[in-house]
Amino acid sequence: MADSAVTSEDGQDGEETRRDFLLISTVSVGAVGAALAAWPFIDLMNPSKDVLALASTELDLSGIEVGQAITAIWRGKPIFIRRRTASEVDAAKNVKLAELKDPQSDADRVQKPEWLVLIGICTHLGCIPVGNKSGQTKGEFGGWFCPCHGSHYDTSGRIRKGPAPRNFEIPPYKFLSDTTLFIG
C-alpha cells in the first residue's frame, strides 16, 4: 500500500550516509507481504474444487458392442466414443495422408485401434455433428456429418469434405483397465 511512500524518505537526513538497513528491511518485508497477499486474489479466480471435481470422468465401456458408439459429457462438451469395426479401422488406416486436408495418421489419433475417442464438436463453427447413433447418417466417409454446413468426417474423425478446417480434437484420456476409460 503506502510502502512505496516510505522508500522516498531518504534524503531527509544528510548525515545518514550508510545504507539504511532498517528502512530497506521494512520495505522488503512489506513488499513480500503485499506479493503474498496477491496470490489469494489470483487463486480465487482459478477453477474451484467443485469445478475441478468435474474436470475428469470415468466411463465403463463394457456395454458397447463393436460398431456402436456412445456420447459422454466431459467438461460440458460431448465426447464421441466409437468402438470401431475392423473395416472401419482399415478404412481409417488406408488413406493417403496427401489426400487429407489436415494430415494426421490414424495411429496418431488412437491409443487402441478399436477405440476412437473424440471431442464431438465440429471444428468449423462448433455444431455437434450427427452419426454417433445408429440410424443417423454418417456422412460420405462413414464417420460423422455436420448438418450445419455439410462437413464430412471419416472413421478416424478427420475432416474430409466441407468447410471445417481441422480434424475432431482428441481429449486427454487413458485406459485404467480394458473396459474403464478415464478422460481428463
- In the complex, the residues that contact another protein under the rule CB under 8 A are 1-3, 5-6, 8-9, 12-13, 22-23, 25-26, 29-30, 33, 36, 40-41, 43-46, 48-51, 53-54, 58, 70-71, 78
Cα–Cα distance between 78 and 151 in angstroms, integer?
A: 17
Q: What are φ and ψ of residue 168, in 5° steps?
A: -55, 145
Nearer to another protein, 50 or 65 (CB): 50
C-alpha to C-alpha distances, 134 to 44, 71, 144, nearest whole angstrom: 44, 12, 12
Nearer to another protein, 10 or 90 (CB): 10
- Shortest approach of another protein to residue 40 CB, angstroms? 4
- Shortest approach of another protein to residue 14 CB, angstroms? 12
Q: Which sign, positive or negative, has the C-alpha torsion 153, 155, 160, 165?
A: positive
Q: Contact, 71 vs 79, CB < 8 A?
A: yes
Among the listed residues 115, 96, 108, the one whose alpha carbon sits nearest the alpha carbon of residue 160: 96
Catalytic residue list contains 149: yes
Cα–Cα distance between 32 and 160 in angstroms, integer?
A: 56
- Shortest approach of another protein to residue 152 CB, angstroms? 22
Q: Which of 77, 93, 101, 149 is catalytic?
A: 149
Edge-first strand order for the sheet with 142-146 is: 142-146, 151-154, 159-161
- Shortest approach of another protein to residue 122 CB, angstroms? 17
- Shortest approach of another protein to residue 74 CB, angstroms? 12
Edge-first strand order for the sheet with 180-183 is: 57-60, 180-183, 173-175
Active-site positions read 149
